[in-house]
A and B are shown apart, each in its own frame.
Chain A
Amino acid sequence: MGKNAELLPGTLDMLILKAVSLKPLHGYGILLRIRQISGDALEIPQGSLYPALYRLEHHDLIAAEWGQSENNRRAKYYTLTAAGRRRLRDETAGWNRLASAIAAALSTTSEEV
């Protein structure tokens, strides 16, 4: 567990949007997908996944639809809406700006000051 990074506040929504932007997924699938695309580095607290999904759905960023799972069970699948796609793009850009700014700040050496 030690190699797992702490999830920053506000990043869960972004990760969910990213996960469902690749392909429609059910809740459990989203959990697995985030773990997979983060190279097992990010662990989502399972209890906060579903409230986040409901909030995103309520805000029309993702849409839900009942479908069949791989093992032929009824499951609720989430897809990205147009508004969700816009939000993901904005947040990704924002995140990248922040990350590079922080990275630049942290890599500063004493000579550069």
Chain B
Amino acid sequence: MNTLKRFRSFFRVLTRRREFEEGMTEELRFHIEQYTDDLVRSGMSPEKAVRLARRELGSSINIKADCRQAFGVHLFDELRRQLSYAARLLRKSPGFTATALLTIAVCFGANLTIFAVIDSVLLRPLPFPEPGRLVTVFNTYPKAGVERDGSSLTNYYERRGHIPAFTSLAIYRYGTEIIGEPGSTERQQTMRVSPDFFSTLGLGPAIGRTFTDEETTSETDHVAILSDAFWRQRYNADPNLIGKRIRVNSVPRTVIGVLPPIFRFLSSDARVYLPLASRPEDRAPSRRHSGGNVIQMIARLQPDATLAQAQSEIDAQNAALEVDDPQAKMIADAGFRSVVISLHADHVAAIRPTLLLLQAGAMALLLIGAVNLINLLLVRASGRVKELAVRQALGASRGYVVSEVVVETTLLTLVGGLLGLAIGSGGIHLLRLLGADRLPLGSRIAFDARLASVALVAAIIMGIVFAVPIAGFNLRRHLGNALQSESRSGTSGRAAQILRHTFVVSQIALAFILLAGAGLLSLSLQRAMAVSPGFQSDHILTGQILLPWASYPDRTARLTFVESLTDKIGRMPGVLSAGAVNNVPFSGHSGKSAATVMGHVLRPGESPRGHYSYGVAGDYFRAMGFSLRAGRFLTAADSHRSERVCVVDEDFARYYWPNASALGQRLWEGSEAGKDAEAFTVVGVVGRTKQAGLTEEGAQGAVYYPYIFRTDDSFFVAVRTILPPESLELTLQNVVRKVDPDIPVSDLRPMETRIADSLVARRSPALLAGLFSGIALLLTAIGTYGVLSYAVAQRRREIGLRMALGAQPGHIRGQFLYLSLRLLAGGVLLGVIGAWLTGQAMRAVLFHVPAFHLAVLTGALCVMVLVSLAAGLLPSHRAARISPMDALAEE
């Protein structure tokens, strides 16, 4: 109960140590003076009185010591004494200290860096009340090749209030809109959300109100909620902004609320929140399976409800609803299910295995470093055996010996940990450069007090762990032996030697595993990079343009804008061809939708498939460098003819017409056959291209329609140029501004940059793993070198004697090289087993690389042999050059 208070008083004394001491002196002096006065008053002579007063009180030094002890201060004094002793010892051996500190700093820094990412991405809860109750629900049609299709508006309206396991349910979609008055518009990230979005999260506007159900139609949705950052930056934190109007896509909307500063939904950087408006027909049962991965659903579980409960309720409702769905058979064939999963876990699911692997790698590094350090410390301890024996003989208690070791190792790990903090903060910067802030929740990665305190605790724990073997070693010495033995060799125990060798073997094994893991990752990166995207990706500039429905309300107006823009771009100097599409490959968002092929009857067990579907305008295929397999590309004229035509890719053609030509075949957009006049005739077949990423597997097929049939909120321009693509960025923006000054271009990047960026989740881990294994090799080399050098130094006399008796230097050298090879063999043997296990664990992140890859292992083995030999050569060589005269004369 009083512990805290006592601790505080103790702490106060520590910080005001001088005051404590002065107070004590003054109090004792006062006592003596008072007593003297009293004695004088009773008739004693002053000199005699002072003497008596002093004598009766006793030695003030002893009293003070007792007082300090009574107050618990003596422990602190003891600690300080041991600290300064440890510091002095460490200063006396700068080589050891520097090696130890550097080892701790590097290993610690690597772990902190990765832990910072793990902490902010995986561990730290989402910034909402009771975040563990937040879940997401999405539709999946695995047999149709659509793993994830979001949720539909219909899902939302059918589920709302009907799933007892949820207290509330909401939907949202990400978007970008043009915000601001004409002339000063900017493109901003936005979110369209259902009215219950904020109440589901449990965090609503700091000022103002949330959306209402009445505001979910396109006639009534003229309201907006701003993020705190946007409110501050753009509106100067105007407290009277509520009720005022801002323009979103040139439509005025009333600001009804401002969110609190901490509000941040997952990784979204949305500045403006708008109601997710829809028409009654969008909510009809026929639209139930038209999610298209655009709209996402979140829900909050009842306090006592489980995921499984929510899942079974959703399943039951789905089953009940599908009973009178005309497409029920097709949907069931597609393997339809709605998955309920934790919001946080789902958001970080893709990156989780990579992060955990990297943390495991960093831990392995720390282990190698720790082993090195313990070895070094043990060597040092054996050098101090005699000193310790003398001190123990003179009465140093076991507790004292142990605490001295703990203080020394903890001092090392604390200072090393501080340096590690610096390296860690540098490491976090490095990760930023590698694109860590693009990870899910990556913008939360920061070097903060939480991380620093974790580091502090870890450093102290590490110090104590290091102390255990050293203290054990120090205490186990037999006093008599140590005092009698004349040479250092007399102090070497067989057990200590085995321990040191085991350490080196485990070090080699760990380094081997790291090396093999890094090899697998980089091989997998290499294989991913070698995949062809399916088009000529060089010399293409791409950018996204958001076209507001308010200014371009119908499809013709939108087509006119797109065509006049691609036309103007196509005539820019240096441009070979220019085109537009809903979504370029590698844009980071790609959705699939259904197409119905005329005459295609689903075979038993076959499910309908989702295909990538695009509207294209201008000279898109030439601009992207697609290859034409048959027929022709779409042209600008196809958007204006009454005859409907389309182009499919070879995957699509092969799937539906394996034995016939695709040309002239007909299909409908969507999952249902329509009127004959609405069917599209295939006029061309193009090569398959990678859409979502180079490592994308499966041949989903793609359909390209003339742009007029698939206009969207936004489109991408693709420009093929003979110039470096970056050099066109400014001119492209100017051309867009000339067509419509209120429309900005965003996400302007050369195609090759997009492809490179899409590999960031492979490149960065491979780089980090490579870095880790490099450090691991260095540490292992130091470890092997250290142990062999020590062995040589210890057996100096024996070697000298043997050489005096005729042993050849080559023989001696061979003996130590043989030792290092034995250690290597043991380490590699364990390492191969470990590498196999690691490979199994890494399967999820490997691309076209088997978990057990012989060439990688052989490579790792060669590197290990080289490193071990290099580390073993120098000490062996030194052993061979020992002069028998000198070695024996040292006695």
Interface residues of A (CB under 8 A from B): 26-28, 46-48, 50-55, 57-60, 66, 69, 71, 73-76, 83
4 nearest A-B residue pairs (beta carbon)? A47-B58, A51-B66, A55-B70, A54-B70
Q: Which residue of A51, A74, A75 has the most chain B CB atoms within 10 A of its CB atom? A: A51
A46-B57, A58-B70 are contacts. A74–B26 as well, Cβ < 8 Å? yes
A76–B27 touching, CB < 8 Å: yes
B70–A27 touching, CB < 8 Å: no
B30–A52 touching, CB < 8 Å: no
Residues of B within 8 A of A26 (CB): 27, 30
Residues of B within 8 A of A76 (CB): 23, 26-27, 30
Across the interface, name the chain A residue whose C-beta is closest to B13. Answer: A58
Residues of B within 8 A of A83 (CB): 2
Interface residues of B (CB under 8 A from A): 2, 5-6, 9-10, 23-24, 26-28, 30-31, 33-35, 37, 56-59, 62-63, 66-72
Residues of A within 8 A of B31 (CB): 27-28, 46, 50
Residues of A within 8 A of B27 (CB): 26-27, 50, 75-76
Residues of A within 8 A of B23 (CB): 66, 76
Residues of B within 8 A of A55 (CB): 70-71
Q: Which of A50, A58, A59, A73 contacts B28 (CB 8 A)?
A: A50
A58–B30 touching, CB < 8 Å: no
A52–B70 touching, CB < 8 Å: yes
A60–B5 touching, CB < 8 Å: yes
Residues of B within 8 A of A47 (CB): 57-59, 62-63, 66
In whole angstroms, what is the CA distance A44 to B63 when docked? 14
Q: Which of B2, B6, B26, B63 contacts A50 (CB 8 A)?
A: B63
A28-B35, A51-B67 are contacts. A58–B6 as well, Cβ < 8 Å? yes
CB of A49 to closest CB in B, whole Å = 8
A51–B30 touching, CB < 8 Å: no
A and B contact pairs by CB, cutoff 8 A, 19 listed: A27-B27, A28-B30, A28-B31, A28-B34, A28-B35, A46-B31, A46-B56, A46-B57, A46-B58, A50-B27, A50-B66, A51-B66, A53-B67, A54-B67, A54-B68, A55-B71, A57-B71, A58-B9, A60-B2
Q: Which of A53, A57, A73 contacts B30 (CB 8 A)?
A: A73
In whole angstroms, what is the CA distance A48 to B69 when docked? 13
In whole angstroms, what is the CA distance A73 to B58 when docked? 23
Q: Which residue of B6, B62, B66, B72 has the most chain A CB atoms within 10 A of its CB atom? A: B66
In whole angstroms, what is the CA distance A59 to B33 when docked? 28
In whole angstroms, what is the CA distance A51 to B63 when docked? 7
CB of B496 to closest CB in A, whole Å = 44
Residues of B within 8 A of A58 (CB): 6, 9-10, 70-72
B30–A50 touching, CB < 8 Å: no
CB of A62 to closest CB in B, whole Å = 12
In whole angstroms, what is the CA distance A76 to B28 when docked? 10
Across the interface, name the chain A residue whose C-beta is closest to B66. Answer: A51
Residues of B within 8 A of A73 (CB): 30, 33
Across the interface, name the chain B residue whose C-beta is closest to A55. Answer: B70
In whole angstroms, what is the CA distance A29 to B512 when docked? 75
Across the interface, name the chain A residue whose C-beta is closest to B68. Answer: A54
Across the interface, name the chain A residue whose C-beta is closest to B5. Answer: A60
CB of A13 to closest CB in B, whole Å = 11
Residues of A within 8 A of B28 (CB): 50
In whole angstroms, what is the CA distance A63 to B222 when docked? 67
In whole angstroms, what is the CA distance A71 to B57 when docked? 21
CB of B13 to closest CB in A, whole Å = 9
Residues of A within 8 A of B67 (CB): 50-51, 53-54
A46-B58, A60-B2 are contacts. A54–B30 as well, Cβ < 8 Å? no
In whole angstroms, what is the CA distance A58 to B12 when docked? 11
Residues of B within 8 A of A75 (CB): 27, 30
A51–B6 touching, CB < 8 Å: no
Residues of A within 8 A of B35 (CB): 28
Residues of A within 8 A of B59 (CB): 47
B2–A59 touching, CB < 8 Å: yes
CB of B20 to closest CB in A, whole Å = 10
